[in-house]
Structure 1
Amino acid sequence: MPVLSDVISALDTLWPRERAEEWDAVGPVCGDPDAEVRRVMFAVDPVQGVVDEAVAIGADLLVTHHPLYLRGTTTVSADTFKGRVVHTLIRNGVALHVAHTNADRADPGVSDALAGALDLRVTGPLVPDPTDPQGRRGLGRLCELDRPLPLGEFTALVAARLPVTAQGVRSAGPPDKPIRTVAVCGGSGDGLFDRVRAAGVDAYVTADLRHHPVSEAREHAGDLALVDAAHWATEWPWCALAAAQLDTVSEREGWGLRTHVSHRVTDPWITHHPSLSSSEGAPN
C-alpha cells in the first residue's frame, strides 16, 4: 500500500507543479507524507460538501482542480469556511492536493477531457506550451467534429454531454451556422479570444463569458460562434480522466488504489428563470 508521498510523487509526474502559472497555488495543502493511501477522491472544488463526501466514503486523499487558498491566508481558524475545511480534513485524516493550471496545460489535460465529453477530435493545443517539443501540451484545444452540425444542434449537444447546471448552455451566433472546427477551453476562457480568432475556428466552447468580451469578439470575428457553459461543468470531465490516469499508475505499481469521482454539483448558481417572452419591462 503506498503512502501519501508516493501518490503525491505520481501526481507531480502527471501534472508537474512547475508548469502551473506563477500566480497559481498547486500541490499538497495538508496531509501526513507517511500516511497510507487506499482511496482517492477527485472533485473540482474543495468546498465543505465535497470534503464531507470524501470523509463519508473513507478517502485518504482528496484531489481537486481548484485551489483552497489561491491568494494565501493568515488563518485556518475553524470559524471561517476554508479553515473549517482544513480542520475537517486533518481531523479525519484526509490529505488535500491541488492540480490547477498545471492540469490545464497537461497532455492530456482539462481541455482534452472537455473535448472528449463533446465527442470532438483534438488536433492540437490552442496555446502551445513552448517548452513542449512535441507540441501537444498547452492551454485549450483545437478540435474537429466528425461531421458539421448547425450551431443550434451543436449547442444542444454540448448541453446534453455536460453535467446539468442552473445556467445551462447558451450560444451566440446564427443557429443555422455550420460548425465543423471548434476551440475549447475548460474554465474561464475569454482571455484567449485573440488565439481563437487567429485559429479561424467555427466555434469556441468555454465558460464565464462576459458581455463586453463576447460583444467585441463577435464584432471582430463576426462569423465566430460562441458557446458558454458553466465553469464547473466544463472542468468536471477532467475528474474522470484524472482518476483513470491514477488508476493506470496504481495498476503499474501494484498499489491497489480505489478511486472515486465526486458527482456533487458545486457550481454556485442554484436556479435559473428564463426571461419573459412578453415586451413588458423592455426598453422602448
Structure 2
Amino acid sequence: MGIQGRELIRAMEAWAPPRLAVEKDRIGLQVGNPDAEVRGVLVTLDVTEDVVDEAIRLGANWIVAHHAVIYKPVSSLRTDRPAGRLYQKLLQHQIQVYIAHTNLDTADDGVNDVLAERLGLQDTEVLLPHIHERLKKIVVFVPEDHHEAVLNAMCEAGAGWIGQYSHCTFNVNGTGTFLPREGTNPYIGEQGKLERVKEIRLETIITESIQSRVIRAMLDAHPYEEVAYDLYPLDNSGPAMGLGRVGHLPQPVNLRQLAEQVKSAYEIDGVRFVGDPDRQVQRVAIMGGSGGRFYSAALDQQADVYITGDIDFHTAQDALADGLCLIDPGHHVERWVVPRVCEKLRSALPDVTITPSKVDTNPFRFA
C-alpha cells in the first residue's frame, strides 16, 4: 500500500519548510488532494504539458516541481488554450502538484548549494540572508547509565551544532529526587518512597525548527516514565539562511576561463558574461533563477563575479560600472536540483517510486 500525500509533503517540508520561502511566494500543494495516495512521484523543474504527459505514461500521480504551475491569478480556464488544457489534464488524471520554490532556494543542500557545489566553490556562505533561525537551550536530567544514549540521540537529531562543530553539550553531575505515586511505573525506585538518583544535567543548543524532532529523540532514548527537561529562548542570533551563496574558487582564473567552467559544470551550450575577459576572479557569488536585481549583495560580499540568470541590459551596465563581473548561464540551470530532490525523497520514502523528469523544459536554444 502506498503512502498518503501528506507524508510526501512532510518529507519535502522537513528539508525545505515553508517558513524559508520569501513572502507571497507560490509554494505548497497547488493542484490536487493532500490525502491522495502516492502511486509515484515525478520530480521536475517546471510543470508543462509534456511533463504531465510523462507523468501519465509513468503512472505517477504526484509531481514535485520547483516552479509554480499557478503563478499568476487565473482569470479563466479555457481548455482550448495551453494553460487551461494543462489544468484539465492534471485534474482529469488526478495528478497532484506540489511546489517548493524559494524555500528550496534557501534550504541547506537546496538549489543554491547544488549550483555552488557543481562549480566547486569552497567556504560558501549565504549571499542574501532573509531569515535568522531562533535559538533555544534545551536542558534534560538523565541518569548516569543513559547519559551517552540520550546525548547521542539528541545530537543525531540535530542538537548541539555550533558552526561546523557537532555534539556541543555541557554536562554537570548532581542528584535528582522524586517520589513515585500510586499508578506510576518508575524505571528507578518504588511507589511511595522518596528516591535519590545520581543524574547528569545535559544542556545543549537547538534551533527552533528542529525542536520537536530533538525532543522526540530525547524522550525515545530517555528511560524515565516522566522526563524532566527545560527549554530556554535565547537572544543569540542563529545561523543565517537566505538566497544565493558566495564562496571561493580553489584557484584564481580569468573571467573567460570561469565562463567556460560554468558551461561545463552546468552542461549548457553557452553563457553571457560582462567584464574584462582577462580579469582574474576568485570570490564568486551565485544565485539560481533571476537574481540580477540582487547584484548589490554580491558587491557587498566583495565578490569578483556574480553568476545568475535573466540579467537585463541596464543591470549589466550598472554592475559593470560598479566593477562587478557577471555571468548569465540562464534560468534553467536550476534543473540540477532535480537529482538532489530525488535523492532526498528516496531516502525519506524508500518504498515510493521517485523519478526525475526527462523532459527538457528550457525554452531557449542557441544558434
- Is TM (by shorter chain) over 0.5? yes
Q: Counterparts of 1:143 and 1:76 in 2: how far apart (Å)?
A: 45
Q: Which residue of 1 aligns with 2:51?
A: 50
Q: What is the match of residue 278 of structure 1?
A: none
Unmatched 5+ stretches in structure 2 = 134-236
Is the Cα contact below 8 Å between 1:46 and 1:66 reproduced in 2? Answer: yes
2:89 and 2:268 map into 1 onto residues whose CA distance is: 28
> Helix, strand or coil for the counterpart of 1:127?
strand
Cα shift at 1:71: 2.0
Aligned to 1:246: 345
User: Structure 1 residue 7: deviation in Å?
Assistant: 0.8
Matched letter for residue 126 of structure 2 = P
| Residues paired across the two proteins, number | 263
Partner of 2:279: 177
Assess if the C-alpha contact under 8 Å between 2:132 and 2:240 holds in 1.
no
Per-residue Cα deviation, 1:61-114 (whole angstroms, up to 9, x for no partner): 111111111122133332232222122122223211111111111112211111
Aligned-residue offset at 1:268:
1.6
Q: TM-score, normalised by structure 1?
A: 0.86
Which of 138, 155, 158 is matched with 2:242 structurally? 138
SS in 1 for 2:3: coil
More strand by share: 2
CA positional deviation for 1:155: 0.6
Identify if the C-alpha distance between structure 1 residues 34 and 130 changes in structure 2 by more than 3 Å, giving closer, same or farther. closer
Identity between Structure 1 and Structure 2 (%): 32
Q: CA shift at 1:136, angstroms?
A: 4.8
Q: Matched residues in 1 for 2:68 and 2:39: separation?
A: 23
CA distance in 2, matches of 1:203, 1:6: 41
Kept after mapping to 2: 8 A contact 1:68/1:82:
no
8 Å Cα contact 1:121-1:145 kept in structure 2: yes
Which residue, 144, 149, 153 being the options, matches 2:257? Answer: 153
Calculate the TM-score normalised by the size of structure 2. Answer: 0.68
Compute the displacement of 1:164 (Å).
2.9
Which letter maps to 1:258? T
Deviations 1:5-31 (A, max 9, x none): 211122222222233222321111222
1:23-59, Cα deviation, whole Å (9 max, x unpaired): 3211112223332213211111111111111212221
Helix, strand or coil at the partner of 2:293: helix
Determine the structure 1 residue equivalent to 2:312.
Answer: 210
Aligned-partner Cα distance in 2 for 1:37–1:145: 42
Cα offset for 1:119? 2.1
Contact 1:230 1:267 in 2 (8 A): no
Q: Which runs of 5+ in 1 are unaligned?
A: 274-284
Residue identity in the other structure for 1:145: L
Q: Which amino acid aligns with 2:343?
A: A
Indicate whether 1:105 and 2:106 are aligned: yes
Q: 1:60, 1:123 → 2: CA distance?
A: 37
CA shift, 1:188, in A, is 0.4
Q: Secondary structure at the match of 2:63?
A: strand
- Partner Cα distance (1:204, 1:180) in 2: 11
**RMSD value, Cα:** 1.8
Give, in whole Å, the separation in 1 of the partners of 2:65 and 2:267. Answer: 17
Q: How is 1:191-202 mapped onto 2 (pairs within 5 angstroms)?
A: 191-202=293-304
What is the CA distance between 1:122 and its match in structure 2?
A: 4.7
Please tell me whether Structure 1 or Structure 2 has the larger radius of gyration of its CA atoms: 2
Distance 2:21 2:28 in 1: 10
Kept in 2: contact 1:41–1:62 (CA 8 A): yes
